[in-house]
A and B are shown apart, each in its own frame.
Chain A
């Protein structure tokens, strides 16, 4: 048995429960770790910038222009971040629908990552809204803009967050030793799984569909009517690449949470994931080539933007695709990690190209994010990691569930 499992047994007296929560709120682990020393000051500065943003308006801390109304906070935090969080629905599909038990050890951490990512992207989104309080109009139904892609993306996004929370909730019940609650939540989670996947497919593609009306603004090499499809296909390998990266990091950082056999198993999982990435990237590449030929885009290739496009496709799709292929043929775990990093950079490049770099590429006044925008983005990521760490150290996310929980399945 793991010694970190909460030893306090909750009985029916309330004050014990609160004492347990209070004890759990205290930090575990080193306070002056290198990560804390770097992230803490950045978070402080970020919070000050967020305060200034609400005091003086969005323009006081960002470089957004009338031509480019969506900057780093949307282009990176939301558009790229949602693709990065795609691993949750892919893994849930593999484990809970296809019954591939092999991947179960990394399921909970991936779902947790996905949930926290969505939670914090919503926060980033609220920062970017000019009149954030009016978001209530969308939720309570004071005029639904039902023909709006953003409306549909927003609702799918919101419901998916609930689905993710439900999928993760058995871990919370195990942490609280709430056996009855655990049984109820586990029963609900199959519904959450099926809807979660459906909602994911639709909002991942919906983010691509957001840009369909920006037909004259996005460079023709990046704009096409297949954007929704390309977004959903690329979210598969983007999400998996993120799972590989997060897995490698958390295996180092949270090694105390894992038993010895898990390391060997993890390599086996990584090779399986590399296969999925290689196949997904091949499908994506085929679609991209199809679109390229169909739109007769070769006129644009011999230009700076054409070279930039080739850079993206060759360097960040074809190269990692071959790396993934090579790594699973020859069992090179190191290569899988390198390929994942390249893939993530490529997705970042692709989403930023569509939403920022090649958006209004002809505008006289180019948008370059301000340092405040970068700091706030980092702040959001760091707070997310802090929360993630807090949960992983307390709940059975990486370590095994308590014995009583396994009987419920």
Chain B
């Protein structure tokens, strides 16, 4: 066995690749922080729980028409529906809550995806791209809101989640649920404008709202914002969710890869050379 200059340069080449890869990664996440995203403001006090948005969503995405029982139990999104409205018993009586993808500013699913099939668009929606996805379901593991769903019974399965009607947005329209909502509970717009609007509503009518915008800071901020008449715990929301972004949890590990890729081979080479000379002198003594 021998180590020559060639293998050494090969080592350096590989580490250089690793380094450059690491750099582009950090540049990308920086860019995300500066973009002004669009989003949705969902005002629970205005929602009547008519389930209309579920029908509109299904139609816009080609899902089967929702079959909603009279006294529905707590339902969740699945591979046939990317939004549901639950009616929840709270301290202020029956309160409807719409659930769908939160469209995080720095989505865990986007960071998790190794083919960039999950993608945070500049407009704001987090979309899933069929031609890239390899179906590993790491986005499902990573999402703190358990949003992505998988078509287990398909031979060419898709990831199903709300895409904020990205195709309609590109045509200059607004998401189907917001467009059809008869009670104006849903409002589409620039995220910063929506936060301002939400603050104004809380300020103008402090009796009706709890003084909190869910989604302003959750998971580092989401494009979907909630206003509620009751504390969010009562609605079954995860209020203990961290206020910094989820991709941040892996940042330390990812940034340590390049240094290890460079330093460890050098250390190993050093130890190898050191023990090799040992061996030779031992042989000489014998």
Is A bound to B? yes
Q: Which residue numbers of A lie inside 8 Å of B, CB to CB? A: 54-60, 62, 64, 66-67, 69-70, 93, 96-99, 128-135, 137-138, 142-152, 154, 186-191, 193-195, 197-198, 201-202, 205-206, 209-217, 225, 228, 409
Across-interface contacts of A228 in B (CB, < 8 A): 253
User: Which 8 A-B pairs have CB atoms at the shortest separation, nearest pair first?
Assistant: A130-B135, A59-B152, A151-B114, A191-B7, A69-B137, A134-B134, A213-B142, A99-B275
Residue of A nearest to B23 (CB): A146
| A346 → chain B closest CB, angstroms | 23
Across-interface contacts of B141 in A (CB, < 8 A): 69-70, 210-211, 213-214, 217
Q: Measured between alpha carbons, how far is A217 from B246 in the docked complex, in Å?
A: 13
| B27 → chain A closest CB, angstroms | 10
Instruction: Flag whether B136 is at the interface (Cβ < 8 A).
Output: yes
Residue contact B134 to A195, C-beta cutoff 8 Å? no
Instruction: Flag whether B138 is at the interface (Cβ < 8 A).
Output: yes
* Of the residues A143, A225, A409, contact of B132 by C-beta under 8 Å: A143
| B139 → chain A closest CB, angstroms | 9
Residue contact B250 to A150, C-beta cutoff 8 Å? no
Residue contact A56 to B155, C-beta cutoff 8 Å? yes
Q: Measured between alpha carbons, how far is A209 from B155 in the docked complex, in Å?
A: 30
Q: Measured between alpha carbons, how far is A133 from B157 in the docked complex, in Å?
A: 12
Q: Measured between alpha carbons, how far is A189 from B153 in the docked complex, in Å?
A: 45
* Of the residues A60, A96, A97, A188, contact of B153 by C-beta under 8 Å: A60
Contacts A142-B132, A225-B249 given; does A96 touch B1 at CB 8 Å = yes
Across-interface contacts of B4 in A (CB, < 8 A): 187
Interface size of B by CB at 8 A reads 70
Residue contact B135 to A132, C-beta cutoff 8 Å? yes
Residue contact A145 to B137, C-beta cutoff 8 Å? no
Residue contact A154 to B114, C-beta cutoff 8 Å? yes
Residue of B nearest to A198 (CB): B264
Contacts A134-B115, A145-B115, A202-B257 given; does A213 touch B140 at CB 8 Å = no
Residue contact B113 to A131, C-beta cutoff 8 Å? no
Residue contact B278 to A57, C-beta cutoff 8 Å? no
| A364 → chain B closest CB, angstroms | 9
Instruction: Flag whether B260 is at the interface (Cβ < 8 A).
Output: yes
Residue contact A138 to B1, C-beta cutoff 8 Å? no
Instruction: Flag whether B238 is at the interface (Cβ < 8 A).
Output: yes
Across-interface contacts of A146 in B (CB, < 8 A): 21-22, 24-25, 28
Q: Measured between alpha carbons, how far is A365 from B158 in the docked complex, in Å?
A: 22
Q: Measured between alpha carbons, how far is A146 from B26 in the docked complex, in Å?
A: 9
Across-interface contacts of B79 in A (CB, < 8 A): 66
Across-interface contacts of B169 in A (CB, < 8 A): none
Overall SS of chain A's interface: helix
Q: Measured between alpha carbons, how far is A137 from B242 in the docked complex, in Å?
A: 32
**Interface 1/0 per residue, B71-99 and A, CB below 8 Å:** 00000101100000000000000000000
Residue of A nearest to B272 (CB): A97
Across-interface contacts of B272 in A (CB, < 8 A): 96-97, 99, 190, 194
Across-interface contacts of B246 in A (CB, < 8 A): 213, 215
Residue contact B260 to A202, C-beta cutoff 8 Å? yes
Q: List 12 contacting pairs A-B, 8 Å CB cutoff, sorted by A.
A: A56-B153, A66-B76, A66-B78, A69-B137, A99-B272, A145-B115, A147-B28, A147-B111, A190-B7, A193-B1, A212-B250, A409-B1
Residue contact B254 to A187, C-beta cutoff 8 Å? no
* Of the residues B132, B157, B257, contact of A57 by C-beta under 8 Å: B157
Q: Total number of A-B contacts with CB less than 8 angstroms? A: 198
Contacts A194-B11, A197-B268, A198-B260 given; does A152 touch B150 at CB 8 Å = no
Contacts A69-B140, A202-B261, A214-B141 given; does A147 touch B1 at CB 8 Å = no
Residue of A nearest to B108 (CB): A213
**Interface 1/0 per residue, B1-36 and A, CB below 8 Å:** 111100100110010000001101100110000000
Contacts A96-B1, A134-B135, A409-B1 given; does A62 touch B253 at CB 8 Å = no
Q: Apart from A202-B260, A213-B249, A225-B249, what 10 extra A-B contacts exist at CB < 8 Å?
A: A57-B152, A57-B155, A60-B153, A64-B150, A64-B152, A138-B134, A142-B115, A198-B260, A209-B253, A216-B144
Contacts A147-B254, A195-B11, A213-B111 given; does A137 touch B132 at CB 8 Å = yes
Across-interface contacts of B1 in A (CB, < 8 A): 96, 186-187, 189-190, 193, 409
Residue contact A213 to B250, C-beta cutoff 8 Å? yes
Residue contact A130 to B157, C-beta cutoff 8 Å? yes
Residue contact B21 to A144, C-beta cutoff 8 Å? yes
Residue contact A99 to B276, C-beta cutoff 8 Å? yes
- Which of B1, B276, B278 is the most central at the interface, judged by chain A CB atoms within 10 Å of its CB? B1
Residue contact A134 to B14, C-beta cutoff 8 Å? no
Q: Measured between alpha carbons, how far is A66 from B269 in the docked complex, in Å?
A: 47
Across-interface contacts of B177 in A (CB, < 8 A): none
Q: Measured between alpha carbons, how far is A93 from B264 in the docked complex, in Å?
A: 12
Instruction: Flag whether B48 is at the interface (Cβ < 8 A).
Output: no
Q: Measured between alpha carbons, how far is A69 from B157 in the docked complex, in Å?
A: 13
Across-interface contacts of A60 in B (CB, < 8 A): 153
* Of the residues A67, A195, A213, contact of B247 by C-beta under 8 Å: A213
Residue contact A134 to B133, C-beta cutoff 8 Å? yes
Across-interface contacts of A69 in B (CB, < 8 A): 137, 140-141, 150
